[in-house]
């Protein structure tokens, strides 16, 4: 299997035994192949300077990862299926029954941040995660859980104080922080129901029309790779280092970083923020455009 994966220009991948995954009880669970043995975890870097220069978060400014990653996973599966015609291979990304950050940490692709995200050595946290679940057995790894440097900046700078400590430091709990979704601007920006006053304030303070990158932008693991300004001209990171850090990247084209009342109707369906519908975007835009008083 490894050879087939290596024939694709993937940033990084690893194999973990299916039995070690955290599986959510969601509808997509029914797609897991019978007798699943292995998860092939793959990361897809998406850092792109111009993705940070608008009013949506970087993952929204690049092409829809649900589509791009799924296409790549399907091409890999085509190649695997030719070599292993008797086996089943099922792709997942995001709307997956697998706790993807947990999976990626367990198979050594990076560390887990207090912001709950996967942080990789070369691409920071600006990576999407996808996986192929198969009934084929192969050599797998199971790494000890490893964590970020724990500076606490993500929690301090979060506009909704959404990064909550749920267990004391040094304990044996696998995870000590969790995201309180109701106070997270990323979640709020997707919410279809009416926002509370506090949620409106959090979204306004996050200064975004969709998604939120604050807990990633302040993270020293990302600053080390991309510079403190992350995407603006004042970045002092050597261009060469940055170019290296963002390769290979399926998301270096089709950047759409600024949503306005005028352009929103034409584009929203084809972007990662389209799935919540136009009304949500218009509401968020209205909040974004409100004058501070
Ligand atoms: C639901 C979801 C969200 C929700 C909730 C996020 C969350 N962290 O809870 C919302 C909408 C807020 C969200 C936002 C974002 N998301 Co999201 N999201 C997901 C999704 C679909 C599931 C995540 C999930 O529920 N994990 C399980 C929870 C339970 O994990 P956890 O919070 O770490 O909880 C652990 C601990 O806190 C602990 N714990 C919890 N409670 C308690 C209580 C006690 C007492 C103790 C001891 C422990 C404990 O145990 C838990 C299990 O290990 C995944 C895709 C997937 N299938 O995994 C993408 C995913 C995590 N999201 C992703 C992205 C890109 C984002 C955003 C960056 C997008 C943006 N720019 O706006 C933001 C980041 C916000 C943030 N800081 O997390 C990427 C992350 C890639 C990466 N590098 O890690 C993923 C993997 C999608 C993908 N395929 O690439 N997301
Ligand atoms: S995405 Fe924004 S609001 Fe959500 S935890 Fe991170 S900084 Fe806080
Ligand atoms: S900002 Fe600090 S605490 Fe938060 S994820 Fe990054 S290193 Fe960890």
Pocket test for ligand 2, best of 125, 163, 199 (most atoms within 8 A of CB): 163
98-112 tens-digit pLDDT = 999 999 999 999 999
Which pLDDT does position 240 carry in this prediction?
55
d(CA 86, ligand 1 centre) in Å: 34
C-beta of residue 134 within 8 angstroms of C-beta of residue 143: no
Is 236 considered catalytic here?
A: no
Whether residue 206 has its Cβ less than 6 Å from ligand 2: yes
Give the domain ranges of the chain: 2-134, 153-238+260-289
Tokens 């955290």 identify what position?
A: 22
Which pLDDT does position 171 carry in this prediction?
52
Q: Which ligand neighbours the alpha carbon of 214 most closely?
A: 2
Which of 9, 25, 64, 94 does the annotation list as catalytic?
A: 94
Paired sense of beta strands 127-134 and 38-45, if any = antiparallel
d(CA 181, ligand 2 centre) in Å: 9
The total number of residues shown for the chain amounts to 293
Nearest protein Cα to ligand 1, atom 7: 179
Which pLDDT does position 172 carry in this prediction?
47
Q: How confident is the model at residue 170 (pLDDT cuts 50, 70, 90)?
A: low
227-256 tens-digit pLDDT = 887 865 444 555 555 666 666 789 988 899
C-beta of residue 281 within 8 angstroms of C-beta of residue 273: yes
C-beta of residue 120 within 8 angstroms of C-beta of residue 12: yes
d(CA 211, ligand 2 centre) in Å: 9
Which pLDDT does position 234 carry in this prediction?
46
Which pLDDT does position 272 carry in this prediction?
87
Structure-model confidence comparison of residues 236 and 13, the more confident one: 13
């Amino acid at each position: 299997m490894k050879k087939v994966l290596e024939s694709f220009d993937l940033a990084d991948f690893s194999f973990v035994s299916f039995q070690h995954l955290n599986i959510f009880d969601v509808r997509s669970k029914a797609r897991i192949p019978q007798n699943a043995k292995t998860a092939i975890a793959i990361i897809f870097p998406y850092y792109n300077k111009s993705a940070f220069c608008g009013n949506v978060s970087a993952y929204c400014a690049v092409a829809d990862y649900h589509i791009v990653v799924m296409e790549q996973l399907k091409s890999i599966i085509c190649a695997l299926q030719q070599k292993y015609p008797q086996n089943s291979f099922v792709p997942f990304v995001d709307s997956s029954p697998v706790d993807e950050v947990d999976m990626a940490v367990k198979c050594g692709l990076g560390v887990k941040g207090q912001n709950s995200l996967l942080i990789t050595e070369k691409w920071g946290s600006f990576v999407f995660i996808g996986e192929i679940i198969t009934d084929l057995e192969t050599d797998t790894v199971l790494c000890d859980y490893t964590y970020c440097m724990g500076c606490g900046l993500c929690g301090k700078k979060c506009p909704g104080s959404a990064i909550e400590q749920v267990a004391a430091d040094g304990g044996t709990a696998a995870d000590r922080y969790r995201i309180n979704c109701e106070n997270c601007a990323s979640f709020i920006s997707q919410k279809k129901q009416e926002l509370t006053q506090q949620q409106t304030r959090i979204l306004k303070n996050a200064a975004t029309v969709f998604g939120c990158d604050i807990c990633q932008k302040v993270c020293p693991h990302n600053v080390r790779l991309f510079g403190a300004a992350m995407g603006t001209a004042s970045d002092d990171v050597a261009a060469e280092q940055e170019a290296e850090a963002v390769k290979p990247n399926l998301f270096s084209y089709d950047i759409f970083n600024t949503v306005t009342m005028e352009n929103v109707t034409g584009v929203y369906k084809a972007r990662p923020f389209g799935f919540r519908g136009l009304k949500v975007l218009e509401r968020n835009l209205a909040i974004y455009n409100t004058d501070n008083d």
